[in-house]
Amino acid sequence: MASPRVSLFLLVSLVFFVTLSAAESLYATGLSESFYDTSCPQAASIVDAFVTKYLQKDRNFAGAFNRLQFHDCWVGGCDGSVLLNSTATNQAEREAHVNFGLRGVAEIDEIKAALEYACPGVVSCADILILAARDATVKVGGPTWTVATGRRDGVQSTDLMADTNLPFPVLNFSGLVANFAAKGFNAREMITLSGAHTIGRSHCNGILPHLYNFTGKDDVTDTDPAMDKEFSVLLKRLCPQGNRTNTIFIDSTANHFDRLYYQNVLGGRGVFITDSALITDPGSKKVVRSFAKRSSTFFSEFAAAMVKMGNLGVLTGTQGEIRKTCQFVN
């Protein structure tokens, strides 16, 4: 019979193994929380320092980093392909209609240059995107989450891939559910990730259909009837008909990650058609009401959804490459 001491050791070892296995199962195969511990132990701190610098200059840049992760991972996986430049023979993802006004590419490349100086050929652009989105969210009051690294960079990027995968801001509720389901996310996770609209800004390009073409009439009076009247007047002043390039904050606390987005949606103050769509379904509206409350689980569910998103279509091992600069393949 085993001694009590041996039995206790086996029990502790089993608990450790199960806990470790559970943690690792959160991530795609090939990703690890300790991936750069030996090859570039300062990687995370370098990314964090640069994100701090950018947000000190413009706190609203947190929304840009969140958008970059989503727009990268949703198109062929989290492989940094959204950062690639077009070539003479190829229109890259950044040229897609749905990527109009995308910010943060030059900043990611600046972080990459610092990492190349510290650890040449080690840290991928894909990982930098994921780390920057997490760090930026935390620095503007949002939740934190553990980032597993080890992604490698893709070499393919086309505007068609982006326009056929990313959700356009004119989708109704069923369209949103279908788009997220195609990536393995349920309706609640879709509503959760929509909460990223609590930070950031948008060009009027994505807002005009909500104000002037809601039913297809393309008329100054063709506004979503469910939109708060005073809010629609404000938006029309900021986004005159035909003006695609003006920029507005997505909510009144757009430099702070909070629950106000859901309160705005409930009050008819959703900026995009996709925002307002969240309360057109009874079940979805119930979730929005829940997330609008101070005691809600929105923060923890958002963190979990971002971890899950970071697993999409990752390249690991010998797949892909580690780019020298993020806007060009090697």
- Is residue 222 marked as binding? no
Judge contact between 100 and 206, C-beta under 8 A: yes
| Among candidate residues 313, 114, 288, 80, the one with its CA nearest the CA of residue 191 | 288
Per DSSP, which regions of 160-300 are E strands?
Answer: 201-203, 247-249
Catalytic machinery residues = 71
Mean per-residue pLDDT, 208-212 = 94
Classify the C-alpha dihedral 146-28-149-165 as positive or negative: negative
pLDDT digits (tens, 9 = 90+) for 143-152: 999 999 999 9
Mean per-residue pLDDT, 206-215 = 93
pLDDT digits (tens, 9 = 90+) for 12-61: 444 444 444 444 578 999 999 999 999 999 999 999 999 999 999 999 99
pLDDT digits (tens, 9 = 90+) for 144-203: 999 999 999 999 999 999 999 999 999 999 999 999 999 999 999 999 999 999 998 999
Mean per-residue pLDDT, 273-297 = 95
d(CA 218, CA 195): 29
- Is residue 253 marked as binding? yes
Judge contact between 293 and 299, C-beta under 8 A: no
Q: What is the pLDDT of residue 8?
A: 46
d(CA 123, CA 151): 9
Pairing type for strands 247-249 and 201-203 reads: antiparallel
d(CA 140, CA 92): 31
- Is residue 251 marked as binding? yes
Judge contact between 316 and 27, C-beta under 8 A: no
Please state the φ and ψ torsions of residue 80, each to the nearest 5 degrees: 70, 10
- Is residue 275 marked as binding? no
d(CA 79, CA 95): 17
The confidence band for 3, taking pLDDT boundaries of 50, 70 and 90, is: low
Domain ranges in the chain?
A: 42-200+250-311
Judge contact between 183 and 312, C-beta under 8 A: yes
| Among candidate residues 183, 194, 184, 163, the one with its CA nearest the CA of residue 281 | 194
- Is residue 258 marked as binding? yes
In terms of Cβ atoms closer than 10 Å to its own Cβ (0-12, 13-18, 19+), residue 164 is exposed
**What is the architecture, at CATH level 2, of domain 42-200+250-311?**
Orthogonal Bundle (1.10)
The confidence band for 220, taking pLDDT boundaries of 50, 70 and 90, is: confident
Please state the φ and ψ torsions of residue 131, each to the nearest 5 degrees: -65, -40
